[in-house]
Amino acid sequence: AQKITQTQPGMFVQEKEAVTLDCTYDTSDQSYGLFWYKQPSSGEMIFLIYQGSYDEQNATEGRYSLNFQKARKSANLVISASQLGDSAMYFCAMRGGLRTSGTYKYIFGTGTRLKVLA
């Protein structure tokens, strides 16, 4: 079965420090995509970064980078130089499921609430 696990319900980080948000996944698909989204208190979902299962390089988008370790089935999000505006809920997500169900599925983790301290 497809599954995304985020084991950190909440985290604190000091402003300007780096922080890593953990995400592990389970899939039997050979081809899949991994995403990270940010959900501020206002409620909207904001796309941050994408990693394809065949991508050899770790994805980076500005201060966001995805530490992709395929053998360990982990896709951790690293935020460098944290800012107060980074305080939000962060969701790891996966697109997969074609092999097992014949159609694509989108699965989200339960999220990690990040609080950046001044």
- Judged by the rule CB under 8 A, the positions of this chain that interact with other proteins are 31, 33, 35, 37, 43-47, 50, 52, 54, 91, 93, 95, 103-111
CB nearer to other proteins: pick between 1 and 45: 45
What's the residue count for the chain?
A: 118
Q: How far is the CB of 16 from other proteins (least distance, A)?
A: 28
CB nearer to other proteins: pick between 12 and 106: 106
Q: How far is the CB of 69 from other proteins (least distance, A)?
A: 19
CB nearer to other proteins: pick between 21 and 107: 107
Closest among 71, 106, 87 to 21, alpha carbons compared: 87
Amino acid in the structure at residue 18: A
